[in-house]
Amino acid sequence: MANKRVLVKFSGEALAGEAGHGIDTKILNYISQEIKSLVSAGIEVGIVIGGGNIIRGVTAAQDGIIKRTSGDYMGMLATVINGIAMQEACEHAGLEVRMQTAIKMEQIAEPYINRRAVRHLEKGRVVIFAAGTGNPFFTTDTAATLRAVEIGAEVIIKATKVDGVYDKDPNKFSDAIKLSELSYEQALSDNIKVMDDTSIALAKDNSLPILVCDMFKKGNLLDILQNGNMQNCSIV
């Protein structure tokens, strides 16, 4: 499937590794190799990374000292920190990368310009979309869905630690059942919550398929996108 365009969303926590916070360069290195395998197969890759390993707006604002809007801006800046790290790791892996931010900070990255992003992708460059949507009260899941729709990605990949979506938390319940295929309505239900409601609604409105897959299984992303092996993922 040459020239397939995808948007991969990683949570900030995924970068933290065993420490649970900060950035683990071994994980960055692993992710960049996985991304490289996609690019080498002719797949155009956009990336959105969360910021939860550094700070989340809701947590920053929980005792009322920091306003929610300010906490959210702190969260968006956290995604830029992660983005810089991801950019370095991808370059270290030999990839061409550009980062674009939803909040202007031109000494660090390009501002988000849709047509420019698409051009980078066409040239085989990985594009990292940082600073979320640029607006408080949104999440990086929503930012990822928005960018996926904007760049015309065929699918958004939510890269997680589990091999798909379960009817309940598989880490807590041994009888949890994997749902290989589910509807947007199911994805919105409280016990499943593939992504937040805003992002699922946006995906649904634009008929954007959501793939939830295990990013720690080496080669899984490529196997799904190139060979259609859906064993270690679920599709909405």
* Chain contacts with ligand UDP (rule: CB under 6 A): 11-13, 50-52, 56-57, 71-72, 75-76, 78-79, 132-133, 135-136, 138-141, 143
Which residue number, 60 or 223, has a Cβ lying nearer to ligand UDP?
60
Tell me which DSSP letter residue 112 carries.
Answer: P
Assigned token pair, 70: 């300010």
> Radius of gyration (Cα) for the chain, nearest Å?
17
CB of 145 to ligand UDP, least distance (A): 11
Please give the angle made by the CA atoms of 10, 56 and 54, to the nearest 5 degrees: 65
Q: Which residue is nearest to ligand UDP (CB)?
A: 50
- CA pair distance 149, 147, nearest whole angstrom: 5
Assigned token pair, 144: 């990822």
Which residue number, 58 or 177, has a Cβ lying nearer to ligand UDP?
58
Which residue number, 11 or 232, has a Cβ lying nearer to ligand UDP?
11
CB of 83 to ligand UDP, least distance (A): 12
Which residue number, 195 or 223, has a Cβ lying nearer to ligand UDP?
195
CB of 25 to ligand UDP, least distance (A): 18
Going from the C-alpha of 43 to that of each of 81, 110, 155, the distances in angstroms are 25, 22, 12
> Which has the closest alpha carbon to 123: 203, 232, 45, 13?
45
CB of 68 to ligand UDP, least distance (A): 8
Which residue number, 12 or 83, has a Cβ lying nearer to ligand UDP?
12
